[in-house]
Structure 1
């Protein structure tokens, strides 16, 4: 029967920790910069909108793997030496900001314009209209899609192994090479990913159903 010792289990746990850490860094960073992208995407200034569209097109139109390579190997060409984990965090944040920005852009534009126009007629300035009226509703609408992207981001952290970072998938590969039990090891790794992703996916589906059943 396949067996993993305490050292192998500890090593997998360390990889799992870094997978969760990278997901948190990328998602939180994506929220911050994604909100900026979303607001730029619906801004009145045409140049700002075009720049936001270019940012979204760049990171949605290229593979995450390529983005990791560009950050890890490209930044040193400009004298910016970054560690593997920092390169992965930067790439994941930029990647997440483009996708979350577009998700939230759609949600913002789904809010009836009459609400913003009414607030403007009452003398509310742009910041108050956006942050007190539009964004709370938009973020609620976008929650299922945001959770769905979080699941994709969590799985995307497995690409960090390409630049030498040891997360869950890479840890599983190393242990598999040591124990010669690839089916058992990667079955365990897959089970860990499932244990993390399935509850999030289920939560997203519940939120989607709840929004669909909510009175308009």
Structure 2
């Protein structure tokens, strides 16, 4: 039975680094594509809204694990070979875009309609209306929910272990198999996840309370 020493801890920290990298890729990609989804979701043309609604329904209505499998095993069938981290990044980005798009769609529609009507009366074009009036307020309103989703996305990266990618959870499995001390190893892994997620959860709760005070 091996002991848990510096090499094992460094291996776990390397896995933690990949967990953070996957979270950053998925979140940044989700922000970019999610904003498009949100804007299409509130577009004037019905067929555009239908496409965005279908995208959201697919990725919210299916497990993230299944989405990882479809990307990882499906793309090679189409002749597109991607590494494990690339497949995970694509799946996380698509998954995040659906959730963030719906969060921001709700925030956009929460902006008082009178502001949009006033902008139209002043002759402000749609692009300026969204960029200068609606989106700044909507993004502020959606910040607590966005932070909450970031926490879920960070924990969701643990599913990358299923396709063989070595992030924090997979690193924990490997160290556990080597040392035969699963309770200690996954206790460390759980503590690392907690240290990442707990401050974000507190930040989201603080932002939610601040917005509630501002509405009074």
TM-score bin, normalised by smaller chain: over 0.9
Q: When the two structures are aligned, how many residues end up with a matched partner?
A: 215
Q: Equivalent residue for 1:14?
A: 14
Unaligned runs of 5+ in 1: none
Match of 1:57 in 2: 57
Superposed CA offset, 1:146-192 (max 9, x none): 00000000000000011110000000010001001000000000000
SS of the aligned residue for 1:55 comes to helix
SS at match of 1:124: coil
2:46 is matched with 46
| Separation of aligned partners in 2, 1:118 and 1:39 | 20
TM-score when normalising by structure 1: 0.98
Displacement, 1:3? Answer: 4.4
Structure 2 counterpart SS, 1:71: helix
Partner in structure 2 of residue 179 of structure 1:
179
Q: Aligned partners of 1:41, 1:48: CA distance in 2, in Å? A: 7
* Structure 1 equivalent of residue 125 of structure 2: 125
d(CA) in 2 for partners of 1:3, 1:144: 42
Distance 1:115 1:149 in 2: 28
Hey, what's the Cα distance between the residues in 1 that align with 2:148 and 2:98?
A: 15
CA RMSD of aligned residues (A): 0.9
d(CA) in 2 for partners of 1:149, 1:208: 14
- Is the aligned partner of 1:150 residue 2:150? yes
**Offset, 1:45:** 0.5
**TM-score calculated relative to the size of structure 2:** 0.98
Runs of 4 or more, structure 1, over 3 Å off, are: none
